[in-house]
């Protein structure tokens, strides 16, 4: 695999920052998945697309709006009616899904070069995200695995909770550096580590 370039590179400062004297509240990282793919079902074909995602990735999407699942190497969640984001460490997922989802059931869009994946993890992750997005991030409202689409200053963000204290954010690559800088400012007060 060729070395991946990051839009965050010019502002990437590994180490502890902000008010970390009493401990680090969150750890920020860029997960750099090899594949970020959107699948959209035509009305009535939602279940067929969910079944195809399972065949192609082994990920079984649970019933319900925003339902999702995350393993260490792959993740998927619904972010709108009949629309799903599927992410994998390996490259080539879009091709696999194109094979699995016939055009009569839905469409597949490769967003691997269009999104940047940012992970925020730690006891203060909910607290920090709550400052940016007008969404309930509590565990009962957003269980592990499930995802949402929302926005920040009119810029879209898709967010999946991949652990009790861990969230993966997918933002437009062209806005990723600006979003990252803002996120770092938001993390200052709780102390953060870039890793």
Note whether 45 and 101 are within 8 A (CB): no
> Which of 23, 58, 81, 114 contacts other proteins by CB under 8 A?
81
Q: How far is the CB of 64 from other proteins (least distance, A)?
A: 6
Q: Contact between 60 and other proteins (CB under 8 A)?
A: no
Question: What Cα–Cα distance (Å) separates residue 74 from each residue in 25, 83, 100, 145?
Answer: 26, 17, 17, 11
Among residues 30 and 46, whose Cβ is nearest to other proteins? 46
CA distance readout (Å), 80 to 5, 29, 118, 182: 29, 26, 21, 26
Whichever of 15 and 43 has its CB closer to other proteins, that residue is 43
Read off the DSSP letter of residue 4: P
Residue of 4, 65, 73, 123 interacting with other proteins (CB under 8 A) = 65
CB of 46 to other proteins, least distance (A): 5
Residue 106 is a binding residue for other proteins (CB under 8 A): no
Least distance from other proteins to the Cβ atom of residue 191, Å: 28
Residue 120, C-beta contacts closer than 8 angstroms, at least 6 positions apart: 26, 27, 28, 128, 129, 166, 167, 169, 183, 187
Stretch near other proteins under the rule CB under 8 A, chosen from 26-34, 58-66, 93-101, 162-170: 58-66
Estimate the share of the chain in helix, then strand, then coil, as percent rounded to the nearest 5.
Answer: 25, 35, 40
Handedness of CA 94, 28, 187, 76 (dihedral sign): positive
Site for other proteins, residues 109 to 138, rule: CB under 8 A = 134-136
Choose, by CB under 8 A, the member of 48, 82, 107, 189 that binds other proteins: 82
Residues that bind other proteins (CB under 8 A): 41, 43-44, 46, 63-67, 78-83, 134-136, 141-142, 148-151, 154, 156
């Amino acid at each position: 695999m060729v070395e991946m370039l990051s839009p965050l590179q010019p502002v990437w400062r590994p180490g502890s920052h902000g008010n970390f004297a009493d401990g680090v509240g969150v750890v920020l990282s860029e997960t750099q998945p090899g594949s970020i793919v959107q699948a959209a079902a035509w009305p009535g074909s939602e279940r067929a697309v969910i079944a195809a995602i399972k065949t192609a990735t082994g990920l079984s999407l649970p019933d319900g709006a925003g339902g999702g699942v995350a393993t260490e190497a792959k993740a998927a969640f619904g972010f709108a009616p009949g629309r799903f984001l599927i992410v994998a460490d390996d490259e080539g997922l879009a091709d696999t899904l194109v094979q699995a989802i016939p055009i009569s059931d839905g469409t597949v869009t490769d967003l691997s070069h269009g999104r940047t994946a940012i992970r925020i993890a730690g006891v203060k992750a909910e607290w920090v995200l709550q400052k940016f997005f007008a969404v309930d991030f509590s565990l009962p409202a957003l269980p592990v695995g499930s995802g949402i689409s929302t926005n920040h200053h009119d810029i879209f963000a898709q967010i999946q909770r991949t652990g009790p204290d861990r969230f993966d954010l997918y933002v437009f690559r062209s806005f990723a550096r600006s979003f990252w800088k803002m996120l770092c400012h938001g993390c200052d007060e709780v102390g953060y580590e870039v890793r």
